[in-house]
Amino acid sequence: MIIAANWKMNKTILEVNQFLDEFVSLVGENKHNKIIIAPSFVFLQKVIKFARKKNIKVFAQNCHQFASGAFTGEVSASMLSSIGVNGVILGHGERKAMGETCDMVNQKLKMAICYNLEVILCTGESENNRAEKEIEFQIKTSLKDINTDEKICIAYEPLWAIGSNKSASCENIYLKVKFIRDICKKMGFFNTKILYGGSVNLKNYVRILNIPKIDGILVGGASLKSKDFAEISSFNSSLH
């Protein structure tokens, strides 16, 4: 399973250090899952140093759509790649709320691929009754002109479930994962990994990870506490 932590704009350096110290002693061997941590840009190198010892992947939460240039305050895919970042989360609902479009996500995705960064591409509806239309549009636009040999990982994150304590139902997640996989297959992407994100917590992660054909979860709020994220990261499908 893929278990990814999206820390968003949280933690100071002291809190990052404390998390890493505690997580290292709690998480054990990490044999079953691919664990990803996506801290703020400023803590990437700190987390990378720690992650090497534990076989954990480190992702950024965004990158710019151009390679370099006069874009004050932005961070490029080449910069991320040059410090050993493994991948990047793209198209998160919170970024779309700040004006990021699917065309921009498509450009960012191409840039990420160009610099060998793995991608978790987020998709999710704002309204229940338009869910399939919105998701299909987002995926088709974001994956436009991307080589179908690329390994794509998509996180289904309905906007109303993010940070709301109202996770989507397992049935809904199952149907959307299937829907997303079908769109990807029609576009020629046959090896897509599909995650769910949106109010995943200690109470529901086992249920969600047991949904057939799901490949993992993207965890926001519940990934901020080392103890909680260590427990979630230790998920073992043969035991649960």
Q: Which residues bind ligand PGA (CB under 6 A)?
A: 6, 157, 162-163, 197-200, 218-222
Q: Are 90 and 62 in contact (CB under 8 A)?
A: yes
Q: For residues 228 and 200, what is the distance between their CA atoms, to the nearest angstrom?
A: 11
Chain centroid to CA 15: 21
Quick one: tokens of 169?
């139902």
Report the residue number, 82 or 170, with the smaller CB distance to ligand PGA: 170
CB of residue 132 to ligand PGA, shortest distance in Å: 21
Q: For residues 31 and 87, what is the distance between their CA atoms, to the nearest angstrom?
A: 20
- Read off the DSSP letter of residue 39: -
Report the residue number, 67 or 202, with the smaller CB distance to ligand PGA: 202
CB of residue 94 to ligand PGA, shortest distance in Å: 7
Task: Please state at what angle helix 13-26 crosses helix 226-233, rounded to 10 degrees.
Answer: 40
Q: For residues 88 and 38, what is the distance between their CA atoms, to the nearest angstrom?
A: 8
Report the residue number, 86 or 223, with the smaller CB distance to ligand PGA: 223
In the residue annotation, 92 being an active-site residue is answered as yes
Q: For residues 72 and 172, what is the distance between their CA atoms, to the nearest angstrom?
A: 41
CB of residue 218 to ligand PGA, shortest distance in Å: 5
Q: For residues 143 and 107, what is the distance between their CA atoms, to the nearest angstrom?
A: 9
CB of residue 198 to ligand PGA, shortest distance in Å: 5
In the residue annotation, 157 being an active-site residue is answered as yes
Report the residue number, 11 or 144, with the smaller CB distance to ligand PGA: 11
- Burial environment of residue 207 by CB neighbours within 10 A (0 to 12, 13 to 18, 19 or more): middle
Q: Which residue is nearest to ligand PGA (CB)?
A: 220
Report the residue number, 35 or 186, with the smaller CB distance to ligand PGA: 35
Catalytic residue among 127, 134, 157, 171: 157
CB of residue 108 to ligand PGA, shortest distance in Å: 17
Element (H, E) at 114: helix 102-114
Catalytic residue among 64, 92, 94, 125: 92
Positions marked catalytic: 92, 157
